[in-house]
Amino acid sequence: MNQFDRPETFDPEALRKKVSEIRTVDHEQRKTDKGPPELNPLARQIALQFRADTYTPAMITGLIRLLEFCVLFTIGYAINAQYVEPAFEELPVYLAILAGGSALAVAAMQIADTYQVPALRAWLRMTPRILGAWAAAFGAIALALFFLKSGHLYSRVWVAAWFAAGAFFLITERAFIAYSIRRWSRNGTMERRAVVVGGGQPAKDLIRTIEHQPDNDIRICGIFDDRDERRSPNIIAGYPKLGTVNELVEFARLARIDMLIISLPLTAEKRILELLKKLWILPVDIRLAAHANNLRFRPRSYSHVGQVPMLDIFDKPIADWDSVAKRCFDIFFSIVALVLLWPVMLAAAVAVKVTSPGPIIFKQHRHGFNNETIEVYKFRSMYTHMSDPTARNAVTKGDPRVTPVGRFLRKSSIDELPQIFNVLKGELSLVGPRPHAVLAQTQDRSYSDVVEGYFARHRVKPGVTGWAQINGWRGEIDNDEKIRFRTAFDLFYIENWSLLLDLKILFLTPFRLLNTDNAY
């Protein structure tokens, strides 16, 4: 079969479409779980070993690019300030040259593939490329100044000193980075943690292929398979089978797992879909191993774990540098909100304290990222002796538990403002799916029993405001349709996230809060 032929027996795009249809399966058609399965002692012990966060190669290489740009700029500026001492009106031109030269150097090193992890490990072998990229950046600057007929205006000593000092920095820095990457790989700081789904010979072949790759950054944390020992041994390629696929969901919530690799033949489409019904709610990359199959797709159909081809089924939402950008967004606008709204928050605190006995702040356990439990802050809106920390009984119109001040705070959503401190702590985002109380329910049924894939909304941090709220879905949840619509809007937000969308939601929130029909 030609490597560019796409077999009719299996279509990755069709599989993705079928997976998306899973989310709309009627509640009555699915199996109901009585709760998360209990992990066996071995699985729990291993999961607890992987609780610490790691730094992905994408994050590490991004930080190295940023470091090199900043240090090269600083070196050039320091030499310029000491030797040239330019007048104030000349400074912008020098700064432009410094910024342009540093950016060109980083771009040239990127083109030369010196930011790949194997290249970062082999700093001595990469030295000619690094110096060549640095020299190319200077050549581009010299060429630009030549065509502008302004080269004679700038100190040759400054340019030569910047080049020499920058070259020395790059070589010594790359030697230190190579040593650090080897150490980070050993202690687990820089690794991608993976779980293999499916056992038997395919899983064994997959693990062996990954392990035999040079510069492997994949840590296999265990194997999960529903089949018994006759078809799937308890030890595969030296790794223990830790449980069933249902237990994998609980394992991935306890451990910091980056990737699930499904090791099944592509022809087992029905079984793959059954697995994905259970696994797509997790905030991880889900890949389908294609190394052992004879099928050949176009190159763009694959991603790779080292040299092992994978078919991408789901990607972890808001990962790597997107998560950094979102965190910076949260911190900046949270500080702006505190500066603007502190008088409102102070007045609300005084009103709560003066009008009814009890604490000013009400703390409630809610679902956070990856189904973890977090403690969310609110201004207390109920009488202390009638409060409901579990939120098992939703607040209704004219609820006698709510104080007069609390009724105003809830209608205006001022009671939610202390959650800005949850944002600064990193437990919430400013924008995201609203966090629901752990025991919240509608008509005596938990939300997860009403909505298929409800927990998929926890693949990102919950937010103070969200896409569902600005589209009218705020306030009381008193029937199944309301929680279904909210979840649908939350999943739309997760799958279409961007900083621009966050900014739009944040801007529209004050205007949409004027609609208080469902806020009690």
Q: CA–CA separation, 403 vs 383, rounded Å?
A: 6
| Token pair belonging to 427 | 């437990």
Contact 19, 273 (CB under 8 A): yes
Report the alpha-carbon distance of residue 321 to residue 59 in Å, rounded: 7
- The structure tokens 């809106």 sit at 381
What sign has the CA pseudo-torsion 80, 84, 85, 88? negative
Question: Per-residue pLDDT tens for 444-498?
Answer: 777 777 887 788 898 999 999 999 888 887 766 767 788 888 889 999 999 999 9
Q: Check: CB of residue 283 under 8 Å from CB of residue 370.
A: yes
8 Å CB contact between 148 and 97: no
Q: In this prediction, what percent of the chain has a pLDDT beyond 90?
A: 27
Cα–Cα dist 502/499, whole Å? 5
Label the pairing between strands 373-379 and 361-367.
antiparallel
What is the token pair recorded at 287? 């890949």
**Amino acid at residue number 362:** F
Amino acid at 442: T
Helix axes 499-512, 321-355, angle to 10 degrees: 20
| Confidence grade of residue 340 (pLDDT, cut at 50, 70, 90) | very high
Rg (CA), the chain: 28
What confidence tier does 154 reach under pLDDT thresholds 50, 70, 90?
low
Buried b (16+ CB within 10 A) or exposed e, 359-391: eeebebbbbbbbbeebebbbbbbbeeeeeeeeb
Question: What is the CB neighbour count within 10 angstroms for residue 187?
Answer: 8
Give the domain ranges of the chain.
12-54+191-314, 57-187, 321-512
Q: Lowest-pLDDT range, 17-21, 96-100, 136-140, 382-386?
A: 17-21
| pLDDT band (50, 70, 90) for residue 127 | very high
Distance of alpha carbon 408 from alpha carbon 229, whole angstroms: 61
- Whole-model pTM? 0.78
At 319-335, the pLDDT tens digits run 888 999 999 999 999 99
Structure confidence at residue 302 as a pLDDT band (50, 70, 90): low
Residue 256 contacts residue 54 (beta carbons within 8 Å): yes
Q: How far is CA 238 from the centre of its chain?
A: 31
The tens digit of pLDDT for each residue in 13-24 reads 554 454 455 444
Architecture per CATH, domain 12-54+191-314, reads as: 3-Layer(aba) Sandwich (3.40)
Sign of CA dihedral 146, 149, 154, 157: positive
